[in-house]
Amino acid sequence: MIELKQLSKQYGKGGSLTTALSNVDLSIDKGEIFGIIGHSGAGKSTLIRCINLLERPTSGEVWIQGKNLTRLGKQQLQTERRKIGMIFQHFNLLSSATVYDNIAFPLRLIKTPRAEVERKVSDLLALVGLEEHRDKYPAQLSGGQKQRVGIARALASDPEVLLCDEATSALDPQTTDSILRLLLDINKKFHLTIVLITHEMHVIQSICDRVAVIHQGGIVEHGPVTEVFLKPQHEVTREFIRQERDSGGLLGLSTTNQGDESAQAVQITFLGQKTYESILSRTVHETGVNFAILQGTISTIKETPYGQLIVRFEGNEAAIELTIRKLLDQGLDVEVLY
């Protein structure tokens, strides 16, 4: 669907050259929600703006549905761009136009007949839940409502791709969730490919299928969210996940052994249906090992449940080893912490 090949972007000239992207290769499938996460200045906005050529890459190619956008003439590019909608952190609405006129804007640009505009805008207003606000101006709306207008406007030209540049960063957590849910609905309903960039792991975890981590202009890690989130390889990824988790802290994580028994702290990860099974208690029952829970989370990655427990096993060494082996055999992921 979207193919970025050896994409590089430099800003400025001569002595004051900034490399914002270097040799990015990325492939995004039709119908998926693809997240790109990175710190400030990592190159996220540059990357997403290169996808519709709002920013011209210095070198490399952008392919969308078999067309190399970097090779198209002005007219052809304009036609292709209509298939790519975009929403922004600060909404970028026309402040002197009503909600209705903001959404109608891209349709009028391509001289859509009046009745067709009316029908389409009404449908979009219903889709984003703003029917009652059609005659209001942006200044009379909340942040979440403004973003709904942004989404409706982006969908007006029936795009195949929706690019979201920090679309929820200016919103409170509750509003963020409602906008993410709307994006997920739209993705399912229209089989729309969504590319979103963010600096929040939570956003990725809520709705993305796959994720790429960008750092200093390069992709350092990418894959299905479940994989990247539960088995992060790169330090930057680990840091994002730690930030998300750290609210809990590692309760009582200490290395003191009790009596002459040995102890071992492990992180156990359950994914999918296994999250709800009593695998751990059955296993320790068999091996005669005791455990203390040091930290635990149960959550979902998109719609897949997962659980992560940090426990300290107490018992003799061989029994603990057997416990870990049995857990691995039953398809859990076990990482020994100390």
Ligand X SMILES: Nc1ncnc2c1ncn2[C@@H]1O[C@H](COP(=O)(O)OP(=O)(O)OP(=O)(O)O)[C@@H](O)[C@H]1O
Residues near Mg ion (CB under 5 A) are 45
Answer for which of 4, 32, 33, 46 binds ligand X (CB under 6 A) is: 46
Round to whole Å and give the CA distance between 141 and 130. 10
Q: Are 163 and 195 in contact (CB under 8 A)?
A: yes
CB of 20 to Mg ion, least distance (A): 10
35 binds ligand X (CB under 6 A): no
Round to whole Å and give the CA distance between 288 and 162. 54
Nearer to ligand X among residue 47 and residue 271 (C-beta): 47
Answer for which of 28, 35, 43, 203 binds ligand X (CB under 6 A) is: 43
CB of 18 to ligand X, least distance (A): 5
Round to whole Å and give the CA distance between 248 and 12. 44
CB of 273 to ligand X, least distance (A): 37
Partner in contact with 102, chosen from Mg ion, ligand X, none, beta carbon below 5 to 8 Å by kind: none
CB of 307 to ligand X, least distance (A): 31
Round to whole Å and give the CA distance between 95 and 106. 15
Nearer to Mg ion among residue 38 and residue 60 (C-beta): 38
38 binds ligand X (CB under 6 A): yes
Nearer to Mg ion among residue 45 and residue 275 (C-beta): 45
Answer for which of 27, 41, 288, 297 binds ligand X (CB under 6 A) is: 41
300 binds ligand X (CB under 6 A): no
Answer for which of 6, 11, 71, 325 binds ligand X (CB under 6 A) is: 11
Round to whole Å and give the CA distance between 207 and 188. 11
Which helix H or strand E contains 143, and what residues bound it? Answer: helix 143-155
Round to whole Å and give the CA distance between 207 and 205. 6
252 binds ligand X (CB under 6 A): no
42 binds ligand X (CB under 6 A): yes
Q: How many beta carbons lie within 10 A of that of residue 110, not counting itself?
A: 11
Site pattern 196..215 for ligand X (x: CB under 6 A) = ---x----------------
Amino acid identity of residue 82, one-letter, is R
DSSP designation for 8: E
Radius of gyration of the chain (CA): 24
Interface with ligand X by CB under 6 A: which range of 40-48, 64-72, 231-239, 284-292?
A: 40-48
Interface with ligand X by CB under 6 A: which range of 33-41, 180-188, 221-229, 323-331?
A: 33-41
Which helix H or strand E contains 49, and what residues bound it? Answer: helix 44-51
Beta strands in 124-261 (DSSP E): 161-165, 193-198, 210-215, 218-224
Interface with ligand X by CB under 6 A: which range of 10-18, 78-86, 176-184, 226-234?
A: 10-18
Q: Which of 40, 338, 51 is closest to 196 using CA atoms? A: 51
Q: Are 291 and 334 in contact (CB under 8 A)?
A: no
CB of 49 to ligand X, least distance (A): 8
Token match 């090949």: residue? 5
Q: Which of 331, 202, 207 is closest to 270 using CA atoms? A: 331
Interface with ligand X by CB under 6 A: which range of 36-44, 62-70, 92-100, 317-325?
A: 36-44
**Site of interaction with ligand X (CB under 6 A):** 11-12, 18, 20, 38, 40-46, 199
